Structures are given as C-alpha cells and as structure tokens.
Structure 1
Amino acid sequence: MDEIKTRVLVVEDEASIRRFIALNLNRAGFEVMEAESSEMALEIINEFKPMVAILDVMLPGIDGFTLCSYLRSKSSNMVIIMLTAKGQDTDKISGLEIGADDYMVKPFNPMELIARINANLRKIHNVRKPLEQRLSLLDMEIDKDAQRFYRKGEEIELTPTEFAIMEMFFQNPDKALSRHEILDLVWGKNYFGDIKIVDVNVRRIREKIEDDPSNPKIIETVWGVGYRLRGEK
C-alpha cells in the first residue's frame, strides 16, 4: 500500500520562490500544490484538502492575513505557516494573532521550513510521551483522542499549537514554566524561532478560555519567569 503523503499548499506570488519551496517539499516526501494568489488557493483548497498551508503575507488581491483567517475559521487542525519579509515584526505578530501556527522570515533555508512543518505536525499527531486520553483540571477537560478542549462543559476550539500548549500545561499544573521551557516542550528543542511565539499563543488562549482575559485566573503570568497553569481553586 502506498504511503499517504502530507498535502501542502504553497501560496506565493513570486514564481521562483514558490517553485523553490515546492521542489524542496516534494523532495522531502510531501504532496505539494502551488497557488500564485489567495483567489487561486480558494479555488483548489476544497478538492486538494491540504494538511499544511504555507502563505506569503504580501499577496496580490486577497492578502495572506485574510487567507490565513479564512483557513483557520474552516479548520482548527490545519498547520498554517506565514512567510514574512525580513524585520517585519508586526507581520509576524499579526499572523500569529489571527491563527497562524508559525512563521518564516525570507530568505530562509528550506530545510528549516521542513523542520518547522514536521514540528507542527507532531503536535497534531501527538508524537509525545504516552498520556491518558482524557484529562481534567478544575472546570476544564482535554480529550486527546478527539483533540478537543472543554471548559464548563462547553467545547472551545483551539488551534493545534494552542491545544499542545494546554496539554503541556495540564501535564505541569501549578508549575512556573519559563518561555524557553514552553518552547522546548511544545515546539521541540530543535526549534529556533522567535520566543515571542509563546507570548502570542498564550494571549490567544487567554482570549478563548479566561472569563476576563485582561485579568487571567487560569494561565497566570509569573513575572520574571514565564507562565503557570493554576491547578487548584
């Protein structure tokens, strides 16, 4: 039986960059579809059903942010990686805020892009230490098998990265974890991205699960250290 390949959609208007990315992803064993615009991506996405989307921020017509937001609204499990211009920190933060899992700064090494894709896919496929399939803490519950998160009996939709962070916190209740520790536990020790990705994702989670995100009571900030999930009332 042929091995099912991970499908990757590359949306980039510069043909040379798009083809370079596609060539390297094909060589790494991915099934790749290319699109030069968001409009083209939207035409093929329902039939292609990508597991991963690589989106350039600066696209003609519908920009990468808008496409990212749309794709995230349609799927909480799709891995979305944004391609940003060098030094554009606002683009990085904006992409993460609207649902991207990661970003790459141009120019980049294709091997690093492949490593980022695999690191994010591992979060979906749970290639981590064995753990009970259903975990409960306070009024929250995680169903690992179904990749669902609940608070007060109601499901809250999390992205793969957000789910992985909450699962990590559930394994370490009441423990103050530094940003570097969270980066290692969730993204892996070989991840060399910006540590700001931790803060952005925690802020995004708080917006979804806290009663008052401006005064968080579930994921607490430990000043000078990082974050802690409150494990007791």
Structure 2
Amino acid sequence: MNDTILIVEDEPKIARLIADYLSKSGYASDHIDHGNAVMEWLAEQTPMLVLLDLMLPGTDGLTLCRQIRERYPALPVIMLTARVEEVDRLLGLELGADDYICKPFSPREVVARVKAVLRRTHGAAGAETELAEEERLVLDEDGWRALAGGQDLGLTAVEFQLLKVMMQSPGRIFSRDQLMDHMYRDHRIVSERTVDSHVKKLRRKIADIWPERDIIRSVYGVGYKYQPEE
C-alpha cells in the first residue's frame, strides 16, 4: 500500500480542486478520468483510499465499487454523487461504499470525510492530532454515559445509543430510518419526528457544555451525521 488517494472523477476542475486540498492536508493523490482505467490501475498500485464518482464515462461508479469490494475488500471507497435518489443504495451494505458525498460539496468537507474514513480503516494512518481533554467527547459504554470535556451530558438510553451509532462512523450520513433501527432494537413503530426530537435534545445537551461547537449536523433531505472538528 502507498500513501496515495486515488481520485476517479471525469470533471477536471473538480479533480484538481480535490487534489489541491488533499495536498494541503498532507495527502498525495492520483487522478483517473475514465471508469475503464480504474481496475487496471488498481492491479498495479494500492492506494490508501478511493474517491469514486458515480457518473463516469465507461464503467460507472456503482459497478466499479462492487468490483473493488470483490477484489480489494479492505480498500476504503468514498462515493461522489449528484444523484440524491442513489443515497439509499450508496449507504446500503450490498454496495459496500464506506461513505458518500453529494455534489456540490466543499473541498474541506471532502478532506474531513477522507480523514474520518481513514481513522476507521487505517487507525493512526488517518488520525488527527490528539485533542486536549477539555475538547474530547468520550463514551463510557459500561456506564451508558457520554462525557464532553469530562462533564456528563446526562443522556437518556436512547440518546446515548443515537450518539454512539453516529460516533462510530464520523462523517457518515445516517438516514432517519437507519437511526431508528439502531435506537429501537424491538422494531417499534415510531415517526421520523421522534428521531428529530431525540437529535434536537442531544444537540441541546452538547451545546450546554460546548455552545460554540456543532458536531451533530443535519443534512437536508437525508438525515444526520457526527462531524468532529479538525
């Protein structure tokens, strides 16, 4: 494995912008603009991560993601898409993408999501500088507590489970249905407004300790994500 991030994107301006921001964050990158060239490139080199556009000339991104998963199951893949209707498929286990980003996007957001996925998959290779104690959000799973800067947030069991699920995958967007499945293991019927209510209470409790930080973010029309600050 090398330290390169492979950018598979047929729009040159977008590819250059992502590459520039990755470079500023210390990551090398390579670029492919045609789907038919990806698997041949991967046969010769193994990058740290693949940023894979959904709509490509030649082999499309969905097909490529499946092929990558079959041949290189440990290689992280982040999908880039302008098609909101593909969100459920991108998040699904059958496709195997580690995360996805909807266009248009901020290049800073791309870098943050790359770091988050690398933390999950490569450990220290993608880790950020250790936060000071007063800046850390820590889960005490034995005591079902969440500590923000050492202070107990006073979460309910459902709020704790909600936060735990999102913290396990920083930067990943969870739909309300996915969060409901994790929050209520007995599969009771609840409305999306119930999820929104729990998220609102969770954010309020975090804001009581960290009023300047916004680490639980809503994504319009999709759901919620935990986004630790850089």
Instruction: Work out whether the TM-score is over 0.5.
Output: yes
Q: Please tell me whether the aligned partners of residues 180 and 195 of structure 1 are also in contact (alpha carbons under 8 angstroms).
A: no
Partner of 2:169: 187
1:37 maps to which of 34, 37, 45: 34
1:60-94 deviations in Å (ceiling 9; x for gaps) = 12100000111111222211111111xx3321221
From the superposition, tell whether residues 77 and 49 of structure 1 become closer, same or farther in structure 2 (CA, over 3 Å): same
Q: Please tell me whether the aligned partners of residues 81 and 104 of structure 1 are also in contact (alpha carbons under 8 angstroms).
A: yes
Partner of 2:185: 220
- Asked whether 1:78 is paired with 2:75, we answer yes
The amino acid that maps onto 1:9 is L
Runs of 4 or more consecutive aligned structure 1 residues displaced over 4 Å after TM superposition: 174-177
Q: Residue 61 of structure 1 aligns to a residue in which SS?
A: coil
Q: How many residues align?
A: 159
- Asked whether 1:196 is paired with 2:175, we answer yes
Distance in 2 of aligned mates of 1:25 and 1:99:
23
Partner of 2:5: 8
**TM-score in terms of structure 1 length:** 0.58
Q: Please tell me whether the aligned partners of residues 4 and 49 of structure 2 are also in contact (alpha carbons under 8 angstroms).
A: yes
1:82-130 deviations in Å (ceiling 9; x for gaps) = 1111xx3321221232010111111111111111111111112346xxx
Structure 1 residue 196: deviation in Å? 1.8
- Asked whether 1:95 is paired with 2:90, we answer yes
Partner of 2:24: 27
Q: Give the share of equivalent positions with the same residue, in percent.
A: 31
From the superposition, tell whether residues 73 and 112 of structure 1 become closer, same or farther in structure 2 (CA, over 3 Å): same
Structure 1 residue 221: deviation in Å? 4.5
RMSD, aligned CA? 3.2
Structure 1 residue 187: deviation in Å? 2.3
1:63 maps to which of 60, 80, 85: 60
From the superposition, tell whether residues 60 and 28 of structure 1 become closer, same or farther in structure 2 (CA, over 3 Å): same
The amino acid that maps onto 1:108 is F
Give the gaps of 5 or more residues in structure 1.
Answer: 128-167, 204-218, 227-233
Structure 1 residue 198: deviation in Å? 8.3
Structure 1 residue 33: deviation in Å? 1.1
From the superposition, tell whether residues 198 and 107 of structure 1 become closer, same or farther in structure 2 (CA, over 3 Å): same
Q: Residue 94 of structure 1 aligns to a residue in which SS?
A: helix
The amino acid that maps onto 1:195 is F
Distance in 2 of aligned mates of 1:122 and 1:5:
16
**TM-score in terms of structure 2 length:** 0.59
Structure 1 residue 199: deviation in Å? 2.3
